[in-house]
Each structure stands twice: as C-alpha cells, then as structure tokens.
Amino acid sequence: MRLVIAAQNISTFSEPWWKVFYDFSLLTKNIDTGLHNAMSPFWTTVTEMLIIGVLILLFYALVGLFLVYAERKVCAFMQNRLGPNRVGPFGIFQTIADLIKLLLVELIPIKKADKFLFNLAPFIVIIASFMAIAAIPFANGLHAIDLNIGVLYVIAVSAMGVIGVLLAGWSSNNKYSLIGAMRSGAQIVSYELSVGLALITVVILAGTMQFSEIVEAQRTGWFIFKGHIPAFIAFIIFLISSTAETNRGPFDLAEAESELTAGYHTEYSGIKFAFFFLAEYMNMFIVASIAATVFLGGWMPFHVGHWDGFNSVMDYIPPFIWYIGKTFFVIFLMMWFKWTFPRLRIDQLLTLEWKYLLPINLVNVLVMAFVVLMGWHF
C-alpha cells in the first residue's frame, strides 16, 4: 500500500523521478505517520527522539573512527610514509584496535583533583558537538531538526565546548593542564568572532539563518561562486578560524606536546581521554560540514549554466554523496593545512586573529552587504 502511495506521489511531481527518489522528507513523513497511527503523541515523540539519538551515535562513532584513520593516512602521505598497514587490509582496523585499548585502559584517579568537574568536563565537550551536529542537513529532508536560526544555534552550542576544556584544565590540579586550558580558552573565544562574522557574510547573501533555505538558495549556484570575492574571502577566513577553534595544527598551542605534554587532557586516561580525542575529530567534521553547507551548496549538485546534459548527469548523483564529498574535501584541506605549516606561537596566533582576520572580516561583511544591496551577486 505504501509503495502504491509513494508511486502516486512520485507521479504527481513535475520534477524528474530521481530528485523525488532522493527526497528523504517522504521517508521521514511516512515513519512519523506510522508511529502516530501506532501509539500516542507522547510516545511517538519519545520513539522518534530515541531513533534519532541512536542514529547520531552510530554516525558519530563511525565518522570518528574513519577520520582518525584518514588523518594517519594523510599524514603518512604528506611525510612519504605508509601509515597504518598491519592491522587489517591497509590498516583499516587500527583505529578499532586503538578504541578497544582505550576502553580497557584503567581510569587513573588524580590526587587532589576536583573529581566532579574532572569527570564532567569530557561529557560537556562531547555533548556540545552532539548538539551541533543535530542541525546540519545531510540531504534533502535528512536532518534531526531544521531550526529557522540554525546558524545562530550552531555557533552558540559549539561555543559550549570551551567550558569543558576550561573545566578539564582547572580541575586536573596540573599546571600544564591549566596553562593548556587557558591557551585554549583564549584561542577559541578569539577565533569564534571570525567564524561568526564569516557565517554572517553568508547569511547576508542568503537572507536567512535556516540551513535548509541556505542550501535551497544555492540551487542555481554555490555561494562561493555566486557571492563573488567577499564569499571566497569569507570561506578562506572560515577555514583558518575554524581550524584554530578546533585546536588543530598549526594552531594546537593548547596541546603542544613539546611544551605542555598533552595540554588540558594530560591527566585523562581511558574512555575519558577517548571522549576528548573523538570530540576533536567530530568538531573538525562539524566545521567542515558547515563550510560545505553554507559555501559549497550542501547536498546540491554542481551545475554549469545551460549545460543541460551535464547538469542532468550531476543530478543523478545522490545528494548525500555530494554532501559527504564536499565535507571530506574540506576535511582534507584542514589536514593538509595541519601537516604543512609549523606550529605558531601563542602571540602569533592571537596577532593573526585580532590584527588581521577580524579587521578583514569586518570590512568583508560591509562589502557583502553593499554587493547584496546593489544586486551584483548572481
């Protein structure tokens, strides 16, 4: 019966069949209708929350494990090495072996540490990334929640991660952890300004903060092309600032091994350390997802003018593949960035933000507003 209804729905659309087939909103509506028919509204909401939570957990774990493996392979490629190649074919099970090792490692109690805050900090860090990933659209109709202030929401919840970092450094009763946490706090708070202004530049161009509408506005062209030079500048600043905000090299002053051992998570072991480790890679995935969504069209295919044949071929590629491909392209740029440049000093890092990126960003926002006002964008 549902197949018949789906076929009728497809036949009523004027769009080609593959666009309708790739629309996940039909699937989610059918699931929601089926649950409402089977149970009360309260239990329907609870069941849907559980389904979404389990899916995000699985996705989180798989992407985290893959990114650790990809980081090692990209690093090896940059340094003319092989990387993991022993555990499983091409070393693909190395990260799983590392995860099992972390789960089995003893949780070492720290003398004179604030036990409550010490145990709470890794959960705050990982929950902040969970909350951020919920608002990102993976395909047409495939997102946990579509907020009309999606950009503002992601900026707000991702900023909560710095609380966990500061708590971890302060509660560890370790001077190296405290110095690393203070560095990280100053770095994240500083570079959040440039991340926010770069996203505001795109919000001005799109006229909305809702991610689904931002993606829809790029149906006729990605914003990195439609927005001319201001959009490209915003994309570059967003990449640099988000790399610094996620504490990745060459901005990894908070975890400088040669100075601070492991920074704010020096005293953590086992699963608690794994939380910090996984959150770092997932934060990289989140900022890459945001960059792909607001600058590179999200799940929208690549179209060229009136090349109808070429555009039709691009439409056959599933939207989720487009989204994943763009996201991992940005992730590769961030990894390339890390393994190419040496680590900055803390004064150089803050000078880059306050004396260069922030003024450029402020001017860029004004230029984008003028471009939109004059209607010079595509």
Condensed to tens digits (0 to 9), the pLDDT of residues 84-143 reads: 888 888 888 988 898 888 888 878 888 888 889 988 998 998 888 888 888 888 888 788
pLDDT of residue 158: 86
Condensed to tens digits (0 to 9), the pLDDT of residues 236-262 reads: 999 999 998 888 878 887 666 666 666
pLDDT of residue 144: 83
Q: Coil, strand or helix: which one is 347?
A: helix
Q: Is the pLDDT of residue 277 over 90?
A: no
Condensed to tens digits (0 to 9), the pLDDT of residues 301-312 reads: 887 777 777 878
Write out the DSSP string of 311-332. HHHHHHS-HHHHHHHHHHHHHH
Looking at every residue in the chain, the average pLDDT score rounds to: 84
The reported pTM is 0.86
CA 359 to chain centre: 25
Condensed to tens digits (0 to 9), the pLDDT of residues 63-91 reads: 888 999 999 999 899 888 888 888 888 88
- Measure the CA–CA gap between 137 and 135, rounded to whole angstroms: 6
pLDDT of residue 174: 84
Write out the DSSP string of 154-175. HHHHHTTHHHHHHHHHHHTT-H
Q: Is 221 left (phi over 0), alpha (psi -120 to 50) or beta?
A: left
Question: What confidence tier does 294 reach under pLDDT thresholds 50, 70, 90?
Answer: very high
The DSSP call for residue 353 is I
Condensed to tens digits (0 to 9), the pLDDT of residues 137-173 reads: 888 878 888 888 989 999 999 888 888 888 988 888 8
Q: Is the pLDDT of residue 197 over 90?
A: yes
- Measure the CA–CA gap between 266 and 183, rounded to whole angstroms: 14
pLDDT of residue 203: 93
Angle value at C-alpha 65, between 64 and 71, nearest 5 degrees: 85
Q: Coil, strand or helix: which one is 139?
A: strand
Go through 260-273 and write b for each residue having 16 or more CB atoms within 10 A of its CB, e for each that does not.
Answer: bebbbbbbbbeebb
Question: What confidence tier does 21 reach under pLDDT thresholds 50, 70, 90?
Answer: low
- Measure the CA–CA gap between 161 and 127, rounded to whole angstroms: 8
Name which residue leads in pLDDT, 360 or 102: 360
CA-nearest of 211, 240, 284, 212 to 60 is 284
For 347, phi and psi rounded to 5 degrees? Answer: -70, -35
Residue pair 291/199 in contact (Cβ under 8 Å)? The answer is: no
